[in-house]
């Protein structure tokens, strides 16, 4: 009981298994043991004077804890002690010389400690210096030279060199392993930090896009309605007209604040301008620009006009899908014929973009760094409004993209029941659809990668995905 209390007082539980503390305890204990053994053998076997033996062995054994604090200084002191101790006593036939066994063990442990605590070059220098100074002691000692004695010294030095060299190699391996492990941990921390920053930036971008699509649009409508109210209702009282004017001013101020907030929430490195989001009615302009650039593209429309029945989010998704599919066909099927069909009849907006085989991908498409982004972006666009996307081979050997986007607001929120129904419908496709390799990409499916006849991936880089995030007030 008393021992337990003393143990808890001088060595708290949180410090009992500290690796550094345990290493110090082991080194000090080993140094004391080696001091006793080394001094006893130096006096009893090698007939070294007691005072000199004690002084030199204290210095040599004390180099072990000294190497824990100052590896270079500890190595130097130990090498000097190793060179002095063999010269203090006469050579005795049959006794290990110039390395006494305890001295050999102590010096090997010192080299191990230096190899773990300092640069590998310091430990290597200590090893080579120990071998050199022991060889010098054997050559220039005060003993009488003979063939047998020199052979004994050579064997002794070789044994020490092999043992100490093995411990040195082990120390270098352990040290390099710890160094590599620390570097890997640092890289993992850096990667985790970059990932967290990227998540924050993506969240900011999402919030900025939602603010633009929802709040800024509503504030603009309020501003327009309040500003035009006196002209649409000329007989209203002056007080009411003043109220409308105040509402208009407040709305304009709110829009100004919204623009500032959007600027803060955007990615600082994106450099994106505050441009309005495109509408689906601008698809025809997109096709005309492609035609002016020499692209063989045609467009066919059918169904009811979509002036007021199409939601902004659905229109934006449809525009981006057409833009992405057209861009993919231009890059991955050069000089192909592209045909776009749009049908707004019924309760859904049907989009079909198909291209012929063409001459394969362009050089820019072959060297793209980011792949598989186009199909994923189109899939996410369709899923965001409750629609679905199909991609695959066309009957002409080219590539086909088909999107079905619901027009009604309720259709985008029916949940998993509608999704499962659509999956059931897709499962009963005709044999021609199956042989065409068409793939259904919905919000819950894993977006695959389709290829055109040249083997190039029918996807796009992230440039259009970045353009999707151009939201503003």
pLDDT digits (tens, 9 = 90+) for 83-127: 888 888 776 666 777 888 999 999 999 999 999 999 999 999 999
| C-alpha pair distances (Å), 99 with each of 156, 159, 435 | 6, 9, 84
- DSSP H stretches of helix in 211-272: 217-232, 238-265
Strands ordered across the beta sheet of 399-406: 297-302, 338-343, 348-355, 399-406, 388-393, 439-441
Dist CA 197 CA 190 (whole Å): 10
- The answer to whether residue 349 scores a pLDDT higher than 60 is yes
86 contacts 137 by C-beta, under 8 angstroms? yes
Q: Give 42-95 pLDDT, tens digit per residue.
A: 888 888 889 999 999 999 999 999 999 999 999 999 999 998 888 887 766 667
Here the tokens at position 194 are 């970059």
Q: Are 388 and 403 in contact (CB under 8 A)?
A: yes
Poorest-pLDDT segment among 6-10, 195-199, 250-254, 369-373: 369-373
Closest Cα to residue 126, out of 139, 117, 114, 136?
Answer: 114
- Rounded distance, CA 124 to CA 128, Å? 6
Coil, strand or helix at 312: helix
Beta strands 439-441 and 388-393: pairing type? antiparallel
Tokens 């020199």, located at residue: 150
277: left (phi over 0), alpha (psi -120 to 50) or beta: beta
pLDDT of 171 above 90: yes
pLDDT in the model for residue 60: 94
Split at pLDDT 50, 70, 90, the class of 209 is low
pTM: 0.45
Q: What is the pLDDT of residue 128?
A: 95
Structure token digits, residue 307: 């002036």
Query: What pLDDT was estimated at residue 176?
Result: 92
Confidence (pLDDT) at 87: 80
* pLDDT at res. 72: 95
Whole-number pLDDT of residue 377: 74
**Backbone CA torsion sign across 322, 324, 327, 329:** negative
Comparing 328 with 400, which gets the higher pLDDT?
400
If you compute the radius of gyration of the chain from its CA atoms, what whole number of angstroms results?
Answer: 41
SS (H, E, C) 280-311: HHHHHHHHHHHHHCCCCEEEEEECCCCCCCCC
């Amino acid at each position: 009981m008393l021992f337990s209390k003393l143990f808890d007082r001088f060595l708290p539980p949180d410090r009992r298994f500290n690796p550094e503390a345990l290493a110090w305890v082991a080194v000090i204990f080993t140094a004391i043991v080696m001091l006793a053994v080394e001094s006893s053998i130096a006096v009893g076997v090698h007939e070294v004077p007691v005072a000199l033996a004690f002084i030199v062995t204290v210095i040599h054994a004390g180099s072990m804890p000294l190497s824990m604090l100052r590896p270079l200084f500890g190595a130097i002191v130990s090498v000097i002690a190793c060179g002095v101790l063999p010269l203090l006593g006469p050579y005795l036939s049959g006794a290990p010389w110039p390395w006494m066994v305890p001295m050999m063990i102590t010096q090997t442990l010192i080299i191990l400690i230096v190899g773990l605590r300092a640069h590998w070059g310091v430990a290597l220098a200590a090893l080579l210096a120990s071998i050199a100074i022991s060889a010098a002691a054997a050559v220039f000692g005060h003993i009488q030279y003979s063939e047998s004695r020199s052979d004994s010294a050579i064997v002794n030095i070789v044994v020490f060199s092999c043992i100490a060299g093995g411990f040195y190699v082990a120390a270098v391996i352990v040290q390099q392993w710890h160094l590599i492990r620390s570097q890997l941990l640092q890289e993992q921390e850096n990667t985790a930090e970059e990932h967290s920053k990227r998540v924050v930036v993506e969240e900011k971008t999402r919030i900025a896009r939602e603010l633009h699509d929802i709040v800024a649009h509503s504030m603009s409508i309020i501003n327009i309605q309040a500003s035009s109210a006196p002209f649409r209702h000329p007989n209203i009282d002056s007080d009411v007209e003043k109220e409308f004017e105040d509402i208009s001013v407040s709305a304009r101020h709110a829009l100004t604040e919204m623009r500032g907030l959007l600027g803060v929430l955007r990615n600082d490195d994106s450099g994106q301008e505050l441009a309005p989001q495109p509408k689906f009615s601008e698809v025809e302009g997109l096709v005309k620009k492609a035609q002016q650039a020499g692209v063989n593209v045609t467009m066919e429309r059918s169904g009811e006009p979509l002036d007021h029945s199409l939601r902004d989010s659905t229109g934006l998704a449809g525009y981006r899908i057409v833009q992405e599919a057209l861009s993919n066909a231009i890059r991955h099927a050069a000089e192909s014929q592209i045909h776009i069909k749009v049908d707004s009849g019924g309760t859904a907006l049907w989009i079909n973009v198909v291209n012929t085989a063409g001459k394969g991908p362009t050089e820019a498409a072959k060297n793209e760094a980011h792949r598989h982004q186009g199909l994923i972006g189109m899939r996410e666009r369709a899923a965001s409004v409750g629609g679905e996307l199909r991609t695959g081979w066309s009957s002409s050997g080219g590539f086909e993209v088909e999107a079905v986007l619901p027009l009604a607001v309720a259709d985008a929120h029916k949940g998993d029941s509608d999704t499962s129904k659509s999956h059931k419908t897709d499962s009963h496709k005709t044999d021609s659809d199956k042989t065409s390799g068409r793939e259904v990409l919905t919000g819950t499916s894993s977006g695959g990668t389709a290829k055109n006849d040249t083997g190039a991936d029918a996807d796009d880089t992230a440039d259009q995905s970045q353009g999707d995030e151009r939201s503003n007030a």
